[in-house]
Chains A and B, each alone.
Chain A
Amino acid sequence: MAKTRSDLLQGTLDMLILRTLALESMHGWGVSQRIQQTSSGVLNVNQGSLYPALYRLEEQGWITAEWGSSDNNRQAKYYKLTRAGRKQLDEETANWQRLSAAVEQVLQAT
């Protein structure tokens, strides 16, 4: 079954989720809100991509999940970054910076 988004975008989403969780453990809704707010509304993660990404990251052992109660006393699943996840985040950040620098170079070339 073909994926409709490119691997590039998927990797980027993973990186953003990991980065968000590096600052603070939170539930899926929180992650999506935080990404939206931090990007000033540019990046709007739709749920259909968010949760599969979260489950995938969990399978790979980069985040762990735990049920807890939210601010308004509702049950929610909180995700936390693991040490392996932190390492993965650093790696992906480095890759991204290298990639975006290269793209920038190409665009600047006359």
Chain B
Amino acid sequence: MPNNLARSLRTLFKLNRAEQEMEREVRFHLEMETEENLRRGMNPEEARLTALRSFGGVERFKEECRDVKRNRPLETLWQDVRFGARVLRRNPGFTLLAVLTLSLGIGANTAIFSVVYGVLLRPLPYQQGGQLIVLRQQAPLARNNNLFFSVGEIDDYRAKNRTVADLAEHHSMAFTLFGGPEPERIQAAVVSANFFELMGVTPLLGRTFASSDEAHGAEAVLILSHQYWRRSHKGDPNIVGRVFRMNDRPHTVIGVLPPLPQYPNENDMYMPTSACPTRSGERFIANRNARMMSVFARLKASMSEAQALADLSTIAGRMKETYPDAYPANLGFSLTLASLHKELTERAQPTFLVLLCTAGLVLLLACANTANLTLARLMRRERELALRAALGASRGRLIRQLLTENMLLALIGGVVGVLLAAWSIKLLVNFAARFTPRAAEISPDNTALLFTLVVSVATGLVFGLLPALSLRQNLVPSLKEGSGQTAVSAGRRRLRGALVVAQVAVSFVLLIGAGLMLRSLFKLQEVNPGFDPERVLVMRVTANWSKYTTGQQYRSADYFRTIRLPLLSGRLFTEGDDAQAPQVAMINQTLARHRWGDEDPVGKRISFNEGRNWVTIIGVVGDVRQYGLNREPTDELYRPVRQTNGAGNLLVRTTAAPAVMAPQLRQAVYGVDPENAIDQVQTLERVRHESIASPRLTTVLLGLFAALALLITAAGIAGVMALTVSQRTHEIGIRMALGASAISVLRMVLRQGLTLVLLGLALGVAGAFALTRLMSTLLFAVEPTDPLTWLMVALALAAVATLACFVPARRATLIDSLTALRSE
């Protein structure tokens, strides 16, 4: 076949698959036609040319064929994608900026969503976790909303209920473990033998408890938690069978748990009730008032929580009647229950939902910005688009092309966002751990990826559709316009203005949220903890036996002096208050007020065991906010440490920096008795610092989001203003040529920008009003409508926005009128 024919054909048709086929088909046809022509008597040259000519216009032919094949959506999509990629590559500045803002927005959302999903939404990792409930006994009249359970009560509930498939008990104690390199302080959960079966947990190694392990006098056994096994025994696969000594008994390891969140607290190991010295004591078992355990249960398949509550409450009622001594009327004794899922997620819910909303708003801001950027670029591309329309592209086709470009941008932003999220998730997990044990379940998994995909696509649609739909029906006039300055449709300008207004409003809401949290945090830090925490080191020292306490605190004679707790009445403990002297106690101000009102309680006596032993009150001290700076001080009673045996926290006020002194103090304690185990050494200041860690971190996160929002908004405002100025260059030039001063030009431009900002602020105020009441649970001593915060935020935002307007406005004044008039 003639070479030049082949070559010309190849250059005419682009070589992709369908086109290749077309080419082959046409080639065949041409060959046949040429042969026919030869047969008719033409010479070879003529034959060829006639054949070619019979095809008509080649371009037209190609276009027609392609048009027919238009319905191959995948091919056109691929074309669009390639074209879009090329467009993005040609505008690196825009692409980079857009990808950056989008990835920050999408990444933040993915990260927070992973947390929300892992903690709040995902079903519990226990088998049929929806059936698991937590029981709780309460004495609301004695202001005690967690009374725990005694052995007698657990037996009653277990035996008499009709709605619960199984019931297990749990309590947690600290013991000293021997058998390792040094005595180790461990936290052990003491559970009934059916505990793991009830939760539906299968061991990673070994076995779980059998009912024989719980029998009185059975050999003591241990099951290790996953974290402890990895941490202290390096994941030793031969750990099962090892024997440790604890509480003067040998304990054999029989199994290791899989990695699961532990409720209600993290424990190093688990043991059956028969292995706990306190729990297995005869007197303890017989005493209905010895309440120490928590109770979990699994509902029967057909039962609801309400039915279980009614059933168990009936049993509680009957217990009250049968044992009136154990349930005096002034307790207001009652039973309540909640699903395990609710218990695990309640604390975390408000904070994380607020964070999720915040992240969502930031993403909206990023979308608005990108939409604005796209609109700006669109105006410059009008000629290109008009050309394509003239060549035959329908409006739908062009919209599809633009949408593909923007979708591409959004997806790239999504990919980068996922990377950002993965990087930041570890920080978030640490943060979440303060609110719920489920934090360990958080991981960037497929659900998060799916979420990212959906969000990216939605983002692309949101900021892509708006500009795309703003394409005019008839683009051809822009081709005719001689000037490169296309007339901006009023609609498009209004759209950009509306976007800026929305951005300002959303930023305002976010800033208010962050501002409120910040004020709340300051208030928290100002709260007087009741003691002077400077340079005090705290260590927990335990002798080889830890006793169960009834909310009493054991304090050495020097405690109050060490922490400089003010003595309000009576005297402090002295060395003389030892085991042989009369039993004494000190109480805090709150307890004094509750029990004795305005009377001085010094000299009065109280008893814990119905008159068998009496303790005299010798002094009253100030309140310590033991359980957190944001909680009311509870009733506190102090006993001298020599009048009981037990563990205590050793507080040492040091002259030098506490951290330096710590090792020396450790040696001193070991010197007294090598069986003393020491742990939790930290400064009191640090303890206090930690106690407000959660609100501090929340504030940091919200603050970050708000700062990001402000940045995006400022950039958005500046961008719109700059564009407006550049488009009105001509007009400004005329004004200046006609004698307008620089100031008046500045004023004109600023007025335009500030109108938008003020509108945005107004909207923002309305929005913030509606939304901030939702975060009132997170705030401390600050109202959601706190006027100071609102005023400061409004001023700050107005200032930033004005600055953002000012810079381009100032550039307007520098326009040289001659060049402006000449500019096209």
Which residues of chain A are within 8 angstroms of B54 by Cβ–Cβ distance?
Answer: 46-47
Which residue of B21, B31, B56, B69 contacts A46 across the interface (Cβ within 8 Å)? B56
Nearest Cβ in chain B — how far from A33, in angstroms?
Answer: 8
Which residue of A32, A47, A70 contacts B26 across the interface (Cβ within 8 Å)? A47
Contact B65 A29 (CB under 8 A): no
Contact A51 B26 (CB under 8 A): yes
B462 interface hit (Cβ, 8 Å): no
Q: For residues 48 through 78 of chain A, which have their beta carbon under 8 Å from a beta carbon of chain B?
A: 48, 51-52, 55-56, 59, 70, 74-77
Contact B61 A28 (CB under 8 A): no
Contact B57 A29 (CB under 8 A): no
B22 interface hit (Cβ, 8 Å): yes
Nearest Cβ in chain A — how far from B38, in angstroms?
Answer: 14
Q: Which residue of B lies closest to A51 (CB)?
A: B65
Contact A55 B392 (CB under 8 A): no
**A90–B101 CA distance with the chains assembled, in angstroms:** 60
Which residues of chain B are within 8 angstroms of A74 by Cβ–Cβ distance?
Answer: 28, 31
**A27–B24 CA distance with the chains assembled, in angstroms:** 12
Which residues of chain A are within 8 angstroms of B60 by Cβ–Cβ distance?
Answer: 48
Which residue of B21, B22, B33 contacts A29 across the interface (Cβ within 8 Å)? B33
Contact A48 B64 (CB under 8 A): yes
Which residues of chain B are within 8 angstroms of A55 by Cβ–Cβ distance?
Answer: 65, 68-69
Contact B25 A77 (CB under 8 A): yes
A106 interface hit (Cβ, 8 Å): no
B55 interface hit (Cβ, 8 Å): yes
Contact A70 B68 (CB under 8 A): no
Which of under 10, 10 to 19, 20 to 34, or 35 or more describes the interface residues of B?
Answer: 20 to 34
B32 interface hit (Cβ, 8 Å): yes
**A48–B68 CA distance with the chains assembled, in angstroms:** 12
Which residues of chain A are within 8 angstroms of B22 by Cβ–Cβ distance?
Answer: 51
Q: Which residue of A lies closest to B69 (CB)?
A: A55
Q: For residues 1 through 41 of chain A, which have their beta carbon under 8 Å from a beta carbon of chain B?
A: 1, 27-29, 32
Q: Given that A28-B29, A74-B28, A76-B28 are contacting pairs, would A59 and B68 also be in contact in the complex, using a CB cutoff of 8 Å? A: yes
Interface string of B727-770 (1 = CB under 8 A from A): 00000000000000000000000000000000000000000000
**A39–B235 CA distance with the chains assembled, in angstroms:** 90
Interface string of B357-392 (1 = CB under 8 A from A): 000000000000000000000000000000000001
Contact B64 A29 (CB under 8 A): no
Q: For residues 6 through 59 of chain B, which have their beta carbon under 8 Å from a beta carbon of chain A?
A: 21-22, 24-26, 28-29, 31-33, 54-57
Q: Which residue of A lies closest to B51 (CB)?
A: A47
Contact A48 B61 (CB under 8 A): yes
Contact B25 A28 (CB under 8 A): yes
Q: Given that A29-B32, A48-B57, A59-B71 are contacting pairs, would A76 and B64 also be in contact in the complex, using a CB cutoff of 8 Å? A: no
Q: Which residue of B lies closest to A48 (CB)?
A: B56
Which residues of chain B are within 8 angstroms of A70 by Cβ–Cβ distance?
Answer: 28
Q: Which residue of B lies closest to A28 (CB)?
A: B29
Which residues of chain A are within 8 angstroms of B67 by Cβ–Cβ distance?
Answer: 1, 52
Q: Which residue of A lies closest to B25 (CB)?
A: A77
Contact B25 A51 (CB under 8 A): yes
**A51–B54 CA distance with the chains assembled, in angstroms:** 13
Q: Which residue of B lies closest to A1 (CB)?
A: B392
Q: Which residue of A lies closest to B18 (CB)?
A: A55
Nearest Cβ in chain B — how far from A80, in angstroms?
Answer: 15
Interface string of B193-234 (1 = CB under 8 A from A): 000000000000000000000000000000000000000000
Contact A77 B21 (CB under 8 A): yes
Which residues of chain B are within 8 angstroms of A75 by Cβ–Cβ distance?
Answer: 24, 28
Which residues of chain B are within 8 angstroms of A59 by Cβ–Cβ distance?
Answer: 68-69, 71
Main DSSP-derived SS at the A contact region: helix
Contact A52 B68 (CB under 8 A): yes
**A29–B25 CA distance with the chains assembled, in angstroms:** 9
**A55–B68 CA distance with the chains assembled, in angstroms:** 6
Q: For residues 45 through 92 of chain B, which have their beta carbon under 8 Å from a beta carbon of chain A?
A: 54-57, 60-61, 64-65, 67-69, 71
Q: Which residue of A lies closest to B70 (CB)?
A: A59
Nearest Cβ in chain B — how far from A21, in angstroms?
Answer: 15
Which residue of A1, A47, A52, A56 contacts B29 across the interface (Cβ within 8 Å)? A47
Which residues of chain A are within 8 angstroms of B56 by Cβ–Cβ distance?
Answer: 46-48
**A32–B54 CA distance with the chains assembled, in angstroms:** 12
**A28–B71 CA distance with the chains assembled, in angstroms:** 21
Q: Which residue of B lies closest to A70 (CB)?
A: B28
Contact A27 B26 (CB under 8 A): no
Contact B69 A29 (CB under 8 A): no
**A21–B539 CA distance with the chains assembled, in angstroms:** 97
Nearest Cβ in chain B — how far from A60, in angstroms?
Answer: 9
Contact B61 A47 (CB under 8 A): yes
Q: Given that A29-B33, A77-B24 are contacting pairs, would A47 and B55 also be in contact in the complex, using a CB cutoff of 8 Å? A: yes
**A1–B391 CA distance with the chains assembled, in angstroms:** 8
Q: Which residue of B lies closest to A76 (CB)?
A: B28
**A51–B69 CA distance with the chains assembled, in angstroms:** 11
Contact B392 A52 (CB under 8 A): no
**A15–B33 CA distance with the chains assembled, in angstroms:** 23
Nearest Cβ in chain B — how far from A15, in angstroms?
Answer: 17
Nearest Cβ in chain A — how far from B433, in angstroms?
Answer: 60
Which residues of chain A are within 8 angstroms of B61 by Cβ–Cβ distance?
Answer: 47-48, 51-52
**A101–B21 CA distance with the chains assembled, in angstroms:** 41
Which residues of chain A are within 8 angstroms of B65 by Cβ–Cβ distance?
Answer: 51-52, 55
Which residues of chain A are within 8 angstroms of B392 by Cβ–Cβ distance?
Answer: 1
Which residues of chain A are within 8 angstroms of B71 by Cβ–Cβ distance?
Answer: 59
**A47–B56 CA distance with the chains assembled, in angstroms:** 8
Which residues of chain B are within 8 angstroms of A51 by Cβ–Cβ distance?
Answer: 22, 25-26, 61, 65
Nearest Cβ in chain A — how far from B708, in angstroms?
Answer: 47
Contact A76 B57 (CB under 8 A): no
Q: Which of B22, B28, B56, B60 has the most CB of A within 10 A?
A: B28
Q: Which residue of A lies closest to B61 (CB)?
A: A48
Which residues of chain B are within 8 angstroms of A27 by Cβ–Cβ distance?
Answer: 25, 28-29
Which residues of chain A are within 8 angstroms of B21 by Cβ–Cβ distance?
Answer: 77
Q: Which of B26, B57, B392 has the most CB of A within 10 A?
A: B26
Nearest Cβ in chain B — how far from A63, in angstroms?
Answer: 13
Nearest Cβ in chain B — how far from A20, in angstroms?
Answer: 15
Which residues of chain A are within 8 angstroms of B32 by Cβ–Cβ distance?
Answer: 29
Contact A48 B55 (CB under 8 A): yes
Which residues of chain B are within 8 angstroms of A29 by Cβ–Cβ distance?
Answer: 28-29, 32-33
Nearest Cβ in chain B — how far from A54, in angstroms?
Answer: 9
Nearest Cβ in chain A — how far from B64, in angstroms?
Answer: 4
Q: Which residue of A lies closest to B31 (CB)?
A: A74
**A29–B32 CA distance with the chains assembled, in angstroms:** 7
**A56–B71 CA distance with the chains assembled, in angstroms:** 10
Nearest Cβ in chain A — how far from B412, in angstroms?
Answer: 34
Interface string of B792-814 (1 = CB under 8 A from A): 00000000000000000000000
**A106–B668 CA distance with the chains assembled, in angstroms:** 123
**A47–B60 CA distance with the chains assembled, in angstroms:** 12
**A74–B31 CA distance with the chains assembled, in angstroms:** 10
Which residues of chain B are within 8 angstroms of A77 by Cβ–Cβ distance?
Answer: 21, 24-25, 28
**A67–B31 CA distance with the chains assembled, in angstroms:** 17
Q: Which residue of A lies closest to B56 (CB)?
A: A48
Nearest Cβ in chain B — how far from A19, in angstroms?
Answer: 20
Nearest Cβ in chain A — how far from B16, in angstroms?
Answer: 15
Given contacts A47-B61, A48-B56, A56-B68, list 7 more A-B pairs with CB under 8 A: A29-B32, A46-B55, A47-B29, A51-B26, A52-B61, A74-B31, A75-B28
B interface residue numbers (CB < 8 A to A) = 21-22, 24-26, 28-29, 31-33, 54-57, 60-61, 64-65, 67-69, 71, 392
Provide a sorted-by-A list of 19 A–B residue pairs whose CB atoms are within 8 angstroms.
A1-B392, A29-B32, A46-B54, A47-B29, A47-B55, A47-B56, A47-B61, A48-B55, A51-B25, A51-B65, A52-B61, A52-B67, A52-B68, A55-B65, A55-B68, A70-B28, A74-B31, A76-B25, A77-B28
A interface residue numbers (CB < 8 A to B) = 1, 27-29, 32, 46-48, 51-52, 55-56, 59, 70, 74-77
A-B residue pairs, 8 tightest by C-beta: A48-B56, A55-B68, A1-B392, A29-B32, A52-B64, A29-B29, A76-B28, A56-B68
